[in-house]
A and B are shown apart, each in its own frame.
Chain A
């Protein structure tokens, strides 16, 4: 079974630009969550999508947005990039199977804002 894939793996942008990151979940998983990981703040929840609907949202400004497509693939967008947006962005797909919860993270997209 293919794992969670994220593209691109590395990205360098300048302040003020925007960026779109992509995540393809495990086949059959309908829930996709996004996280930001930085050395200072650790892993922080951005948002979660389930069946194309945003179900949960973390405490991030409106510059961070996302969406999910009918095939469960998800994208997140960051507009007007700031230096502080430099981070590893992780997505995870999850599902409840036979009453047990399974979740898999992708390898992440390393975003550097200069």
Chain B
């Protein structure tokens, strides 16, 4: 049973454009919704995260939009740059600190 569904699997965006990655979850017990960025040969890095009592969180060019009723959240990367090319994972965390990851989105920003 896939508790976190992430889409799209891959995404190509022009430099300066907006990259949007979506995730949907099933269990309402999750209390923390992080996004991770992973470059080839490296471990994932926590990029930005949101708690369910907030509908949006912005950090620089990265924004999480959260829709609790629809059980969906998304990552928006504004003014996308070639250096943003990486694999992005959404995840959900429950109160026991168990983290479940989405399958990942491979993002490529065209120069």
Which of chain A's residues have a CB closer than 8 A to the CB of B49?
Answer: 101
CB within 8 Å of A: which residues of B?
32, 34, 41-46, 49, 89, 96-104
Task: Give CA–CA (A92, B89) in the complex, Å.
Answer: 15
Task: Give CA–CA (A6, B103) in the complex, Å.
Answer: 24
Task: Give CA–CA (A102, B34) in the complex, Å.
Answer: 11
B101 touches A43 (CB 8 A): yes
Sample of 28 A–B contacts (CB below 8 Å)? A4-B43, A33-B97, A42-B89, A42-B101, A42-B102, A42-B103, A42-B104, A43-B44, A43-B89, A43-B101, A45-B99, A45-B100, A45-B101, A55-B97, A56-B96, A56-B97, A58-B98, A90-B43, A92-B43, A94-B97, A101-B49, A102-B46, A104-B45, A104-B46, A106-B43, A107-B41, A107-B42, A108-B43
Which of chain B's residues have a CB closer than 8 A to the CB of A92?
Answer: 43
User: Residue on B with the closest CB to A92?
Assistant: B43
Is A51 on the interface with B (CB-CB < 8 A)? no
B97 touches A90 (CB 8 A): no
Additional A-B contacts beyond A31-B97, A45-B100, A105-B43 (20; CB < 8 A): A4-B43, A33-B99, A42-B89, A42-B101, A42-B104, A43-B89, A45-B98, A55-B96, A55-B97, A56-B98, A58-B98, A90-B44, A101-B32, A102-B46, A103-B46, A104-B45, A104-B46, A105-B44, A106-B43, A107-B42
A48 touches B97 (CB 8 A): yes
B98 touches A105 (CB 8 A): no
Determine chain A's interface SS by DSSP, over half rule. strand
Task: Give CA–CA (A42, B102) in the complex, Å.
Answer: 8
